[in-house]
Structures are given as structure tokens and as C-alpha cells.
Structure 1
Amino acid sequence: MPSQLMGQGAAMAPAPAISAAQRRRFGAWLASAGWTLASIGSIVALWEWAAWMGWADPLLMPAPHVFLGNWHEQLRFFDMANTIGSESAGGSWLAVLSVVLWTSMRVLVGLALGFALSLAVGVGIRYWRPFGKLTLPAVTMFAPISPVAWLPVAVFLFGIGDRPAIFMVFVSIFFVMVIATLAQIDAVPASYLHVARIMGASKRQLYTSVVLPAILPGLFVTLRINLFAAWMVVLIAEAAGVGSGLGQIVMMARNTFNASLVFFTMTLIGLSGFLFDQALGWVQRRMLWWLDGQKSGGRDA
């Protein structure tokens, strides 16, 4: 009998309460989502009001309810095989997702390559002096060149396809990130380095255990800023050197004077860029977990 009562008491025990940290995180997420919806909603409301007042030409600036309302017409221009150039009879939201994923893949691969190689080159310039003297002048010379100017080079080197678009994204962030890496290394507090040397750290340990963790927060901020530039560059590359993707659809809509398709695709681009930034912020919070939660969004203690 006592064992049965104990079993019933255990079964009726209340579930553990939500911690204060979880409530704070959920409240912060709700507030952020609310402000995001309010920001986008205010722009949509002003646009709709301008269209209702007759200030926006319906042919050049169709209201959001127009180009979003006839979405079934826009789907005809998206193809599952990601081959743009003719209307597809079988367009669907799955085809839209396929095109968005192809463009996102080009951005993701270019960003990953640019971030990894720029970090390696930047650290190498400061770690090995001869390498720095040989490399830094070339990096400084190439950095001011607009990524758009590299488009003919990308086509000459890689032809038509995914590789020129990935190369364009890579170039758009590589040189800037190398210079940012050097600036972050030079800004590491000298006291960190002195303490590590006193504790007997070698030069390799100094860079892997002190310098690298110290510069990553600033580099992630720079990477998130350059994320939007990467999206702009990949759309240009798709319009001119790839022949598929969201950029090519925008170009086709411009050539056919289809304003609804232009703004429909722009909406997809904006949503994709927003989700990319949120995903990159999530990666940043997981990788930089040792930072204070209020400063970097890291894990709570």
C-alpha cells in the first residue's frame, strides 16, 4: 500500500517549472518578433496607402496585395530544374523553394570559403612575417576593386554555372575580411599576450588559444555586415554569368516589364537574406558561447 501511494504521488507530481532564464529568452523572442512584424507592416501599410491614394503607378509600383495576390501567376516562372528562360507549366511553391535554395547555396559556399580562407591568410600574415610582406601589398591593392569588376574574370575562368557566382561571393568578402582580421589581431589587448607568455605559451598556442578566440567576435560582426553585400553580388552574377537563380528571374522580369514578378522576387530575396542573417546569428551565439549573453547572445550560465 505505501508503495502504491508513493507511485501515485510520483505520477501526480507537477512538471518542473520553466526557469527564469527561459522565460526571459521567450519574452525577448516575442518582443523581437513583434517589432519585426511592426517594422514590415508599417512599410506595407504606407505602400498600400500610397497605392490607394493614387501616388504609385500600378504598372510600375504595384501594391503588395497585387503582386502577392496573384502568386499563382508568378509561379510559372520558377522551374524545379532551376533553368530560367522560359515559362514553366508546372511551376509550384516547391519550384520556388528550389530556386531560392540554389541561390542560397551559392551564397553559403562563397561565404564559407571566403571566411575560412581570409581568416587563415590574415592569421598567416601576422604569424609568419615573410608571408605577410609578400601577401599584404597584393591584398591591399585588390581590396578596393568592386566585386562587379570581377564578373568578366569569373566568366573567363569558370564559364557559365555555379562556380562564377560562388567566386563572386568569395571575392566580395575575402579581401575585406583579410584586412578586418589584421585589424582585429592588432587590437588584441597586450595584457592577454603578456599573461599567456608568462604562463609559457608558445607562439602557436598564443594564436590558437588567445588571439583566435579574441578576434572571432569582431570577425563575425564583419561577416554579418558583408552577408548583404554577398547577396547583392550573387544576384548580379546570376543575372549575367549563371543563367539561373533569383537574379536571373529579376533580369527576366525587367526585360519583360513584369513589375509584379520583380517585386515578388524581391520579396523572396529579402526573406532569404533575413533568414540567412538570423541563421548566422545563431551560429555566432553557438560558437561564441563564452561571451556574455547580453553582448553576443551567448548561452546563459
Structure 2
Amino acid sequence: MSAVQALPRARRRGRLLALNIASALAGLGVWWLWSATAENVPTPAEVAKRMGELFADGTLEADILASLQRVLIGFALGCAVAIPVGFLMGWYATARAVFEPWVQFFRTVPPLALIPLVVVLLGIGEEPKIFVIYVAAFLSCVIATFQGVVDVDKTLINAARVLGAPTRTIFARVVVPASMPYILVGMRVGLGSAWGTLVAAELVAAQEGLGYRMQNAQIYVDRPTIFAALICIGVLGLLMDRVLLLVERRATSWQERR
């Protein structure tokens, strides 16, 4: 890329970063106004003070690590299973006939609705919490992977066959790269579902975690702690999403972008 081409791109990134910062400051301003007009809403300063106290005694750090571990394990397991299953469903009609009815069935069942059954089957340890997060991530990722394989341009596949490429090569060199944008979008959606399921999952006999901290704060009407936990969940989810977005841009750099 020449210096002439890089300059407009750098300016555009700087402008977008400025808009991000302005949006965050505007959000803080709205929060200040909300807390000034609503009696039960803590101010940003009160929440920041509470976060500092929770960090100082190690409570918030332990909660973040516990929640992050559950989300990462459940999300990683969900994607690790969903991607091969999605490829099988998209590439083989027999596998699609076997798996698709079950996938579509469980898509209509919210992962949170599985908690009572999972507790009965797996107990009240870490397994049920991780399992419901796994289900949430799996369902989002498997559909995206399946759709990515189905939507691969048939012209590319036929051209590879005309050139004498075997099926294995077509799958590895054509189908997988063409499906990658779908897979990574599905992973981002699955990550959001994993964090969205976390709070309810941590209500199952947890002793630490951001969801548990929010539930415990609700009992004592500790509003700053509730806000602090919400902010931590949002920030962690945003950072993880940015990492996946960076991976997506690197893995799909061949795509034209606007």
C-alpha cells in the first residue's frame, strides 16, 4: 500500500476513533442526567468508587476471572463442536438430514430453559453453568457455519472440479475459505449469546462470578455493585468481540470491504 493510499485510510480511522470517544462521552453524559433526575440510579462517580472498593479487596477480580473462565470454556467448546457439525451439514446431505432437525429443535428452546434439567442431571457444580453457555454458543455458530457452506458460489466449486481438483482439495481450498466470514460472524453472535447466558447460569449455586455478584447485590439493594458488574460484563464482552473482529479482518482480508 502506497503512502498516498494509506493517508486517507489513517484519516478515516482517526475520524472513527474520535466518533467512538464522543459516543462514549455522550453516554456518560446521559448517565449523569439520568442519575440526577432518578432517585434510585447511582452516579458514575458512585459506581467508579464502588468498583475501586471491590477491586481493592479482590472481590471484583475473582468474579471477573470466574465469569471469564466459564464463558471462555463454554464458548470454546461450543465453537469447537459447532464448526465441524456445520461443515458436515452443509457438505453432506445425509449429515444434514441427521443433524438439522435436532439443531432446529433446540434453537427454539432458550438455553436458560435448560437450567432446571441441567441442574438435575449434572448437579450444582461448574458443569451446568458451562453447559448452558456451551449450548448458546453452539447454536449460533453451527447455523452460521452451515449457511456459509450452503452459500458457497457453485461456480467456484465447479471450476475447481473442471481443473481436476479432488473433493478433499475443493473442500479445504474453496469451501473453507469461502465459509470463513460466516463462521466468524457466527462466533461473534455466539460470544454475545454466551455472555447473555452467563448471568442466569451463575444463579445456579455459584459462589463467585459477575452474575452471582449482581444477584447478591440485588438482595441488599446495592445498586452501585449491580452497575459495576454490568459494566464489567459489557467491557469484557466488547473486548472479546474486538479480538474476534480483528481475527475476522485478518482471515478474510481477501474480501472487498466498504
Taking structure 1 as the reference length, the TM-score comes to: 0.77
1:134 aligns with 2:98: yes
1:62 aligns with 2:62: no
1:35 aligns with 2:19: yes
**CA shift digits 1:259-290 (9 cap, x unpaired):** 11111111111111111111111222233333
Q: Distance in 2 between matches of 1:70 and 1:149?
A: 33
Number of residues of Structure 1 aligned to a counterpart in Structure 2: 257
Which amino acid in the other structure matches residue 56 of structure 1?
Answer: A
Which position in structure 2 is the counterpart of 1:299?
A: none
Which amino acid in the other structure matches residue 256 of structure 1?
Answer: Y
Q: Distance in 2 between matches of 1:101 and 1:182?
A: 33
- After TM superposition, give the deviation of residue 128 of structure 1 in Å: 3.5
1:288 aligns with 2:252: yes
Q: Is the 8 A contact 2:50 2:225 kept in 1?
A: no
Structure 2 portions without partners, runs of 5+: none
1:50 aligns with 2:34: yes
Q: Is the 8 A contact 2:210 2:229 kept in 1?
A: yes
Q: Distance in 1 between matches of 2:73 and 2:6?
A: 34
Which position in structure 1 is the counterpart of 2:212?
A: 248
Query: Which shows bigger deviation, 142-151 or 218-227?
Result: 218-227
**CA shift digits 1:209-245 (9 cap, x unpaired):** 1111111102212321332221010121012253321
Which position in structure 2 is the counterpart of 1:91?
A: 57
Specify whether residues 162 and 287 from structure 1 end up closer, same or farther in structure 2 by C-alpha distance, changes over 3 A only. farther
Give the greater-gyration-radius structure (CA): 1
Which position in structure 2 is the counterpart of 1:14?
A: none
SS of 1:211's equivalent?
Answer: helix
Q: Is the 8 A contact 1:220 1:284 kept in 2?
A: yes
Match of 2:238 among 249, 274, 282: 274
SS of 1:244's equivalent?
Answer: coil
SS of 1:239's equivalent?
Answer: coil
1:222 aligns with 2:186: yes
Query: Relative CO higher for 1 or 2, CA cutoff 8 Å, sep ≥ 6?
Result: 2
Which position in structure 2 is the counterpart of 1:111?
A: 75
SS of 1:49's equivalent?
Answer: helix
Specify whether residues 25 and 179 from structure 1 end up closer, same or farther in structure 2 by C-alpha distance, changes over 3 A only. same
- After TM superposition, give the deviation of residue 178 of structure 1 in Å: 2.1
Q: Is the 8 A contact 2:145 2:186 kept in 1?
A: no
Structure 1 portions without partners, runs of 5+: 1-17, 79-89, 296-301
Root-mean-square deviation over aligned CA pairs: 2.4
- After TM superposition, give the deviation of residue 70 of structure 1 in Å: 4.1
Specify whether residues 108 and 256 from structure 1 end up closer, same or farther in structure 2 by C-alpha distance, changes over 3 A only. same
Q: Distance in 1 between matches of 2:19 and 2:124?
A: 42
- After TM superposition, give the deviation of residue 20 of structure 1 in Å: 5.4
Query: Which shows bigger deviation, 122-131 or 239-248?
Result: 122-131
Q: Distance in 2 between matches of 1:32 and 1:161?
A: 44
Q: Is the 8 A contact 1:164 1:237 kept in 2?
A: yes
- After TM superposition, give the deviation of residue 133 of structure 1 in Å: 2.0
Taking structure 2 as the reference length, the TM-score comes to: 0.88
- After TM superposition, give the deviation of residue 192 of structure 1 in Å: 0.7
- After TM superposition, give the deviation of residue 162 of structure 1 in Å: 3.0
- After TM superposition, give the deviation of residue 22 of structure 1 in Å: 6.0
Specify whether residues 233 and 290 from structure 1 end up closer, same or farther in structure 2 by C-alpha distance, changes over 3 A only. same
Which position in structure 2 is the counterpart of 1:148?
A: 112
Which amino acid in the other structure matches residue 91 of structure 1?
Answer: D
Match of 1:197 among 161, 181, 203: 161
Percent of matched pairs sharing the same residue: 29
- After TM superposition, give the deviation of residue 69 of structure 1 in Å: 3.0
SS of 1:261's equivalent?
Answer: helix
Query: Any runs of at least 4 consecutive aligned residues in structure 1 with deviations exceeding 6 A, and if so which?
Result: none
SS of 1:125's equivalent?
Answer: helix
Specify whether residues 155 and 101 from structure 1 end up closer, same or farther in structure 2 by C-alpha distance, changes over 3 A only. same
Which amino acid in the other structure matches residue 49 of structure 1?
Answer: L
- After TM superposition, give the deviation of residue 45 of structure 1 in Å: 0.7
